[in-house]
Amino acid sequence: MVESDLSSEVNATTVLPAPTLGTPFADTNSEIVVPWTKEDDSSDGSHGVERATNGGSFQSVASGLSASTEEYATGTAVPGTDTYTYRVIRSTDHATATSGTVDVFVDYAVTITGTNSPVDAGETLDVDVEVTNNGTIEGDQTVDLTVEEQ
């Protein structure tokens, strides 16, 4: 019979939890901000943000963000043009975890609801409008009124 010493060594792997995405919003510069919550207590590693446009492949828009970072401003979206899908990658020396995804579509509809037309040259034209946000995020949008000569 062979005798051996008991070992107290244990090998264990802890699964790195994926970040949880919050609700994207537009900041005061009309940039899309993607927030998330880091679901682990580790201070090492980093976050990255990836974006797909109109159902295409994901591309990195930010990498190497500190482990304490929990939002990223991704740039200004052009209303009514593209749907962006975002996800966040959490990486440490030993593991990588990918969040779920969130879609962002920016679209504002402007409807003229009234004017004081007709006006004579030099008079002010008052225009009442209704702006409807048909997109998936809250935000502010500047509306420019252009008068074309007839």
As for how many domains the chain has, the answer is 1
**Parallel, antiparallel, or unpaired for β 20-21 and 46-53?**
unpaired
Among 61, 63, 64, which residue's Cα sits nearest to residue 31?
Answer: 61
Residues 35, 147: contact at Cβ < 8 Å? no
pLDDT in tens, the chain (150 residues): 667 667 677 776 778 999 999 999 888 777 889 999 999 988 899 999 999 999 999 999 999 999 999 999 988 777 778 899 999 999 998 899 999 999 998 888 888 999 998 989 889 989 998 888 888 887 776 777 777 776
The predicted pLDDT at position 132 comes to 85
Q: Which residues on neighbouring strands pair with residue 37, listed in sequence order?
A: 20
Structure-block tokens of residue 129: 């409008």
CATH number for 98 = 2.60.40.10
Residue 25 exposed, middle or buried by CB count within 10 Å (0-12, 13-18, 19+): middle
The model carries a pTM of 0.75
DSSP string, 105-134: E--EEEEEEEE-----TTSPPPEEEEEEE-
> Per the domain annotation, does 10 fall within a domain?
no
> Per the domain annotation, does 31 fall within a domain?
yes
> Per the domain annotation, does 145 fall within a domain?
no
* 139: CB partners within 8 A, 6+ apart: 25, 26, 27, 30, 106, 133
Q: Give the range of the structural domain holding residue 42, as residue numbers without chain letter.
A: 20-105
> Per the domain annotation, does 144 fall within a domain?
no
Count Cβ atoms below 10 Å from residue 15 Cβ, excluding itself.
Answer: 8
The predicted pLDDT at position 11 comes to 72
